[in-house]
Structure 1
Amino acid sequence: MRGRQVLMQTLVNHGVDRIFGNPGTTESPLLDSLLDYPQIRYIVHLHEGVAVGAASFYAQASGKTAFVNLHVAPGLGNAIGMIYGALKNNSPMVVTAGQQDTRLRLRDPVLGHDLAAMAAPVTKWSVQVERADELGPVLQRAFKTANEAPAGPVFVALPIDVMEQETAIPAGRPATLFSASRPDPAGIAAMAKHIAAAKAPAIVAGDDVARAGAVDTLVRLVDNLGAAVWFEGLRGRNAFPTDHPAWRGTLAFDAPGVARQLAANDLVLMMGGPFFEEVWYAPGSPFASGTKVLQIEAAPSRLAYNFAVDAGVIANVGAALEALEAAVKVDAAVAKKRRAALEAQKEAEEAAQKARVEKAWSRSPTSMARAMAEIRAGSPEGVVVVDETITANLDLFKTFTFKGAGDYYSGRGGGIGQGVAGALGVAVADTRRPILCLSGDGSSMYSIQALWTAAHHDLPIVFVILANREYRVLKHNIDAYRARFDVKSNKPYMHMDLTGPALGFVDLARGMGVAGTHVTKADDINAAVAAAFASGKPHLLEIEIEGKR
């Protein structure tokens, strides 16, 4: 058996039926083997970063381990940013790259470099296979490591000569593991005691709640407590229904901002996330003095990593929530009063958003608030949203309702371009539901080649580009920088406008085989969105919206 056969059989054994890749010469052994394994579909991309971005979201949407095949040093370099995003998103992935013949190692071949060293900083494990006898064991360990909590990408370099070597060591198979650890009863009892004594509890629900399939359990716990629920500022999934009265929104990106949002709470339970990812340094704690802090994590490395906690539990998030739900006893009248207060707060916020939309309804160019309202009106029921709206995110969440964990996907880590690429992976994973990809114009240009893949594989994604002709988030951030560092300035925003020339997204789409519609008037958005979905084909909508006011 040759090394390439060990690789392909390993994929079959581990249930891999998709390869996300960008082909190159050193990948010839894999590409030449595809005809012998018709059960494996190769999703071809025009840029390595797009392949990894698609694979990352595929792993999230499918619940499977994604497999990626890249091309030597420049190709891996192109993908590093998206691998970083996958690491932050805890996407279980095995990323491979073809490597030059090992006999050329001392000759400094074209495209040669130490691939394992390149990938090491953004992966859980990075290794090069040195002989065919190692392929089976290395790949088996790669799949295992990628899925251990917290999940994430691993990297394996595959030299072309190793892929053609003979070996008697067969492909590995996945182990049957029962890794959903149960929580320590003493830890659950300690948490239950703190929660019962709290007057105003809050929960920060991380992505792992969604990944564990524990959203319904969390809803029951929240209802029993009358607790408020927050999301992290950056998240890949929604861990709680956004139309629930207890959902309060997303947390700020600095400690004082979080502290203001949690000021009324005397207990905060964090679960299933890295808590907290900040953009700006500011002194102080996100928790008010005397606040009880509890945390539930599947991985010991995350527990009490940034904050001392009054009770911390290492366990499968779903199992811990079930145990906590059974253990916590809160007076029903107290919980009812808390729920009523949250409902009143939710109603007030919805009324404020309605007034905000009405005030902005007739602005030209179209306001973000109205654009979201019109996009929602034109979208079918059951739509899945792949989001990279950044500065329009607030309006997105105040307009769309996300009930289940599979309704929404986004990128973590802050690297842009994940949305347009990630929509491919969601579409490959879930072909039953309509998919809406929302992106800003600046973000989309990092992975615009994704449109070609959508056309090539006939993925019926509706791509909406919110074109404000600027890096709006950077303008907000330079305002924040000036304020935080006391920089007195009335200077213009340098190099943050996407004009001269303006980008033509419909033309770009057409050049890659995707139909497009340019929408300049708010009155036309609803119908354009509905028509795009009705086409049953990939379609791009370029919607002009207002810039920073």
Structure 2
Amino acid sequence: MRGRRVLMESLASNGVRHIFGNPGTTETPLLDSLAAYPQIDYVMALHEGVAVGAASFYAQATGRTAFANVHVAPGLGNAMGSLYGALKANSPLIVTAGQQDTRMRLANPLLGHDLVAMAAPVTKWSVQAERADELAPILRRAFKVATDAPSGPVFVSLPIDVMEQETAVEPVVSDKLWRSAHLDPKGLAEVAALLLKSARPAIIAGDDVARAGAHAGLVALTEAIGASVWFEGLRAHASFPTSHPNYRQSLPGDAAQVRKVLGDADLVLLLGGPFFEDIWYASGSHFPDKAVVVQIEESSERLAFNHRLDAGLVGDMAASIAGLAAAIRARQSPEFRLAAQSRNQALAELSVREKEAHRSRLEKSWNREPSSMARVMAELRRGLPDDAVIVDESITASLDLARTFDYRGFGDYFGGRGGGIGQGFAGAIGVKVAMPDRPVVAVSGDGSAMYSIQALWSAAHHKLGIVFVVLSNREYRILKHNVDVWRKNFEAGTQHPYQQMDLTGPDLDFVPLAAGMGVEGIRVEKADDIASVVASAVASNRPYLVEIAIEGKR
């Protein structure tokens, strides 16, 4: 059996249904093998960053290990930003690259480089198959490592001569692994006791809650203890129903601001995340003074890694949350139950006030031209069906997007982690491949869209009915906001105009860009037209781009 057949049989046995890739000469063994494996579709991208970004979001949407294939050193270099995003998002992902013939290794061949060293900093494991005998065991381990908690990307370098070598080491059937950790009864009792002592609890729900399908359990726990629920600033999922009155929004980007919004919380429960990915340095703790800090994770790697804990528990996320809710219900006193109900009522009243404040802000900005961010989000919501999936890279419009859309559970929302831009359009490809029966809408800033604009061609090529919404203010608005913060934090003393942050001279024009890649598009200047245009785009069930003129920060 040749090495390339070992690769393809390993993919098939592990349930791989799609290869996200950009072809090259050293990938010929894989590409030529596709005809013999019709159950595996090749999703073609015109840039390696798009291929890996799509694969990462596909992994998030399906919960299965995704597979991407890129081309030698420059191709892997092109993919590095997306690999970083996959690492931060904990996407179970195997990325391979064709490598030059090992017999040329010492001669510094064209496109050759140490691929293992390149990928190592942004993967859980990086390895090269040196002979065909290694392919089966390497691939078996790659699928295991990618899915071990916390999951993440693995890189495998595949030299072209190794792929053509004969081997007697055949691929093995995929491992059947049950990894859920049993809850420690003593630990669960300790955490429950701390929650029952709390008068002002707060919960920060990470992405693992959504991936575990633990929404219902978290709602039950939240209501049982009367807690507020927060998301991390950058997240891949919505881990709690955002229409619930106890939901409070996403956390800000430095320790001082996080501490401020948590207010007088006397207990903070961290569920399933790295906690925290700050943007700016600020002295002090993320937590209010004297607050008890509790963390639950699915592996010990994250537990107490960044913060001292009063209690930490390792266990299956859904079972841990459900077990904790059950323990609270069994042990709570009538006084605690009444206090929790009172907290829930106070949070519901706060939620009503915040919604009223948002409506007031929306009314004040309703007739602005170009359209305000709040108005654009309101019109998008009006034009989209209830089952629309949002792939979010709206950046400075993200707060208005979050206030406008309600996410019920896993699958309604996908976002990029790590802070690198260009994830939205690429990620929408993977989400639509994973969820073909739901309308998928990618919402992106214009600057971010240009990082992965080639995704439009992939959508057209594979006839993927994605609506790509570009919020066009012709600037890197987020950078202008960050300049303001920098000037304040570091007392820079400069007040001159923002440097190199305007996307003008020439202005970007996304409609002809889309047309050149086979995607129909329209530019919308008036907010009154947004809802009908977006509704028509969704109804067309084909790739469609909607560019919306939106207010900037000039």
Same fold per TM (> 0.5)? yes
Amino acid at match of 2:277: E
In structure 2, what is the Cα distance between the partners aligned to 1:287 and 1:16?
Answer: 42
In structure 2, what is the Cα distance between the partners aligned to 1:493 and 1:176?
Answer: 55
2:403 aligned partner: 398
Q: How far does the alpha carbon of each residue in 1:333-357 deviate from its partner, in whole angstroms, 9 at most, with x for none? A: 1111111000000000000000000
Q: Indicate the percent of aligned positions where both proteins have the same amino acid.
A: 60
Amino acid at match of 1:366: S
In structure 2, what is the Cα distance between the partners aligned to 1:157 and 1:489?
Answer: 48
Contiguous gaps of at least 5 residues in structure 1: none
For the pair 1:312 / 2:312, whether they are aligned, the reply is yes
Q: How far does the alpha carbon of each residue in 1:257-285 deviate from its partner, in whole angstroms, 9 at most, with x for none? A: 00001122100000100001101001111
1:10 aligned partner: 10
1:111, distance to aligned residue in structure 2 (A):
0.2
SS in 2 for 1:149: coil
1:176, distance to aligned residue in structure 2 (A):
1.2
SS in 2 for 1:345: helix
For the pair 1:443 / 2:429, whether they are aligned, the reply is no
In structure 2, what is the Cα distance between the partners aligned to 1:98 and 1:528?
Answer: 43
Q: How far does the alpha carbon of each residue in 1:89-147 deviate from its partner, in whole angstroms, 9 at most, with x for none? A: 00000100000000010111000001011000000000000000000000000000000
Matches within 5 A, 1:14-413: 14-328=14-328, 329-330=331-332, 331-413=336-418
Amino acid at match of 1:146: A
Q: How far does the alpha carbon of each residue in 1:335-384 deviate from its partner, in whole angstroms, 9 at most, with x for none? A: 11111000000000000000000000000000000000001101112000
In structure 2, what is the Cα distance between the partners aligned to 1:117 and 1:277?
Answer: 25
Match of 1:528 among 514, 530, 533: 533
Of 521-530 and 418-427, deviating more is 521-530
SS in 2 for 1:312: strand
Note if contact 1:139-1:172 (Cα within 8 Å) is conserved in structure 2. no
In structure 2, what is the Cα distance between the partners aligned to 1:201 and 1:136?
Answer: 49
Amino acid at match of 1:71: H
For the pair 1:509 / 2:514, whether they are aligned, the reply is yes
1:173, distance to aligned residue in structure 2 (A):
2.1
Match of 1:461 among 459, 466, 477: 466
Q: How far does the alpha carbon of each residue in 1:440-481 deviate from its partner, in whole angstroms, 9 at most, with x for none? A: 000010000000000000000000000011000000000000
In structure 1, what is the Cα distance between the partners aligned to 2:174 and 2:8?
Answer: 14
Matches within 5 A, 1:406-425: 406-425=411-430
Contiguous gaps of at least 5 residues in structure 2: none
Note if contact 1:181-1:319 (Cα within 8 Å) is conserved in structure 2. no
1:401, distance to aligned residue in structure 2 (A):
0.6
Q: How far does the alpha carbon of each residue in 1:230-270 deviate from its partner, in whole angstroms, 9 at most, with x for none? A: 00001001100000000000111101100001122100000
1:489, distance to aligned residue in structure 2 (A):
1.7
Q: How far does the alpha carbon of each residue in 1:37-95 deviate from its partner, in whole angstroms, 9 at most, with x for none? A: 01100000000000000000000001110001110000000001100000000000010
In structure 1, what is the Cα distance between the partners aligned to 2:302 and 2:419?
Answer: 20
In structure 2, what is the Cα distance between the partners aligned to 1:69 and 1:357?
Answer: 45
SS in 1 for 2:381: helix
In structure 1, what is the Cα distance between the partners aligned to 2:482 and 2:177?
Answer: 46
Amino acid at match of 1:155: F
Q: How far does the alpha carbon of each residue in 1:365-407 deviate from its partner, in whole angstroms, 9 at most, with x for none? A: 0000000000110111200000001100000011111011110
SS in 2 for 1:84: helix
**TM-score (ref. length: structure 2):** 0.98
Amino acid at match of 1:211: R
In structure 2, what is the Cα distance between the partners aligned to 1:70 and 1:536?
Answer: 29
Note if contact 1:228-1:246 (Cα within 8 Å) is conserved in structure 2. yes
1:223, distance to aligned residue in structure 2 (A):
1.2
In structure 1, what is the Cα distance between the partners aligned to 2:398 and 2:432?
Answer: 21
SS in 2 for 1:464: strand
In structure 2, what is the Cα distance between the partners aligned to 1:508 and 1:64?
Answer: 33
Amino acid at match of 1:496: M
Structure 1 stretches of at least 4 aligned residues deviating more than 3 Å after TM superposition:
none
Matches within 5 A, 1:484-495: 484-495=489-500
For the pair 1:452 / 2:457, whether they are aligned, the reply is yes
In structure 2, what is the Cα distance between the partners aligned to 1:245 and 1:472?
Answer: 31
For the pair 1:538 / 2:543, whether they are aligned, the reply is yes
Note if contact 1:125-1:155 (Cα within 8 Å) is conserved in structure 2. yes
**TM-score (ref. length: structure 1):** 0.99
SS in 2 for 1:55: helix
In structure 1, what is the Cα distance between the partners aligned to 2:511 and 2:426?
Answer: 17
Amino acid at match of 2:160: I
1:537, distance to aligned residue in structure 2 (A):
0.6
SS in 1 for 2:296: strand
1:332, distance to aligned residue in structure 2 (A):
2.2
In structure 2, what is the Cα distance between the partners aligned to 1:6 and 1:391?
Answer: 47
